[in-house]
Structure formats: C-alpha cells, structure tokens
Amino acid sequence: MYRSLLHSLKWSVFVISLCCLSHTVIAAEPESDDDFLFHDSHFHLTNYVQEGPSLSEFLKLMDGKVGRSMVCGIPLQQQWMYANTGDFAPTYYTQTDAPLYYYSFTDAIIAHEYLRLSPEERKRFDPMITGFNPTDMYAADHIRRVLMTFPGVFSGIGEFSIHKEFVSSKISGEVATLENKALDRILEFAAEVGLPVVLHCDVDTPFPRPDQDPYIVVKLKELADRHPETTIIWAHIGLGRVVRPVKDQLAMAERGLRERESKNIHFDISWDETAKYLVGKPEAIKATADLINRFPTRFLFGTDCVGPKTQDQYLEVYEMYQPLLAELTPESRHLLLKGNYERIFDQARRRVRAWEAKNVRRETTPPRD
Ligand SMILES: [Zn+2]
C-alpha cells in the first residue's frame, strides 16, 4: 500500500534540492529558550464546527512544553444537514456528505480569544486570518478588513486550502484553483503587509493513474514565481491522508521545478498524516533527516492539532517525530523546532504592526450609547 513511501522521500529531496539551488544556510542562533520543546507553526484552536478550547485553556496545554504558537480557526464550517445524518451531529468533514461552507466569523473568534489574554500571554501567540473564500476576488478585502477591525492582533494568513483531498469537492460554490486571480490578490496583499501564508495544497489528487502527471506541482511553482515577495509555508509538504507522491511525480516535479529559486517557500511537517510517511520506516527517517540537515532553514515543525483537550493529545505529533529529531544535528533541530518560527513570525509581527500604524484609521468619535 505504501509502495511509494521511498518515492515520496526521493520526491521531496528532488523538489527541495531543486528549489534550493541558490540556498545558503544561515548560522543558527544558539538555543535561546531551553524551557520549551518547540514553537508550534501550525495549530487550529477550533474544529470544523468551530468548537475548541479557549486560548487560556490552550495555554495550560502548552505549559512547560511549548513556547509560542501560531493560532488559527478553521475557515470552513461543516453543515449539519438533517436530511443527510439525522440526529447525528458531524464534527469532521469525513462524517457526512453534507457540504462545507466558508465561515468568516472564525477570525473574530480568534481575535476575541487573543484579546482576552494578558499582554504577557499574548506574546506567545501569532493569530492568523483564515476565514475567507480563496475563489472570491473580495477575499483580500476581507483580510484587510480583519486587520483594520482588530489591529495589533494578527501575524499571518492561513491555513487555508486550495487542493485538499475529500474537502475541496465538498465546498459549496466555485472550486478553488491555483490559477484563480482571487488567490493572486490574496498573495499580493500578503506581500504588501508582510503576512506569511500557510497554504494547504495537496501535491496530487488522491488516486492518480500511474501514467498521470500531477498538474498541481507546475501550477504551484507558477504561483510562487508570480509572488516572490510572499512568504509561503507549504503545509505538510503537500502530503495528506492518502495523497502521496507516486513514481511519475518525480519526473513531473523535476520538469516543473528545474530552475526553481524559491527562497520564499518553506515546508511544514505538521500533521500525524504527514508524520506517518516521514517516520514510517528507518529509510524514511534517514532520508528526511538528511534533507532537513541539508536545508535546515526551510522546515518548520507544527502539530496541526485541532482543538485539543489534553496535553498528551496535543503533543502526540511531536512524540511521533522523536526518531526523526534524534537524527538531526543540534543546529537543524533548533531551527526546525524554534529558530525558523522565530525568524518568520518575529519579522511578520514587525511588518504587520508597521502596516497597521500607517493604514488603520484611529477612531475619533466614541461609540454611541
Ligand atoms: Zn491544518
């Protein structure tokens, strides 16, 4: 079943080698905070029905283990369609045939939670805007509006999805694509403000034919080419529950990325579904560790945990990755777990606050009774 595990790793090596041709490794900062195991570059406070812990409760799950966390909701709401599941209330998209729809209020939930924290507690979070429809030319306007409504809160955009197994086809309305002008507007605005973008885009369709070249790699390359000033974090390196690279993808990836110099692309290894490929076999662990050791500034660790209830549950993905972490150099491990997060999100905070200082109109009249 996992005949392509090695292919997947070879593919990753291929893609990243090709896209990092001009890459230079930046010397790692020394460990600045040994009290924490990692910063979480991919975390959802809410699930597909917008439920989850408060940020205060989440802080307790982080305590003593996790320093900082990016925090986003889920941009999609799973409809509870009585005609489809009756009294059964689905909380995940695989539990019903009913559609998903974009749920912008998720950004307000995240801002509300953040603003309830003390200034000291807020320093540990990087809230993200995610409640927009990436097929809508107005999506960038939503992002702008969220920044204007909640200045001082958000650090980036995402995770939002373009191609996602089992999800894309369930969303009401126009299907998202990498060529949509609405997505270009989003990435242009992200570059203007300095918002890093966490993008979920499966590297291929779930069950491709063996002789079928994946069109997604080419289009993703073109997208990144069109937006060299936008920091893109490719969630899960494009892997998924069943989406995994197959042999033919190697050749396709090579053709698509041969002259790639996309320093703006980073890779997060979040999600237990990603971990199952990367630490599934000793050869996989070695190949992945070699890759990260060669390009340590390009990878981020994240849990992709969704509305966790216990610390054990929250740390599950970190525990899964122990065999991989053991194979990394101290420098690479530091960058993967903390250093790259700090570099990307510290810069984002500075740039977004500067943009807000220039663009957010100060309220001059007090609210009416
Ligand atoms: Zn996610």
Distance from residue 366's CA to the centre of ligand 1 (Å): 39
- The pLDDT of residue 219 is 83
Tell which residue, 182, 304, 173, 189, has the closest CA to residue 237.
304
Distance from residue 361's CA to the centre of ligand 1 (Å): 33
How high does pLDDT run on average in the chain? Answer: 83
Q: What are the residue boundaries of the structural domains of the chain, listed by start?
A: 8-23+35-359
Instruction: Please report which confidence band the pLDDT of residue 164 belongs to, taking 50, 70 and 90 as the band edges.
Output: confident
- The pLDDT of residue 205 is 64
Overall fold of domain 8-23+35-359? TIM Barrel (3.20.20)
How far apart CA 163 and CA 204 sit, in angstroms, is: 8
Distance from residue 369's CA to the centre of ligand 1 (Å): 41
Q: What is the chain's alpha carbon radius of gyration, rounded to the nearest angstrom? A: 20
- The pLDDT of residue 358 is 94
Distance from residue 270's CA to the centre of ligand 1 (Å): 8
- 349, burial (CB in 10 Å: exposed 0-12, middle 13-18, buried 19+): middle
Q: For residue range 70-89, list pLDDT tens digits in order.
A: 999 999 999 999 999 999 99
Distance from residue 302's CA to the centre of ligand 1 (Å): 9
pTM: 0.84
How far apart CA 67 and CA 172 sit, in angstroms, is: 37
> What DSSP string describes 125-178?
EEEEE--S-TT-TTHHHHHHHHHHHSTTT--EEEEEESS-TTTGGGBSSSPP-T
Distance from residue 363's CA to the centre of ligand 1 (Å): 35
Kindly provide the residue ranges of all beta strands, DSSP E only, lying in the chain, ordered along the sequence: 38-40, 43-44, 66-71, 76-78, 100-102, 125-129, 156-161, 197-200, 232-234, 265-268, 299-300, 305-306
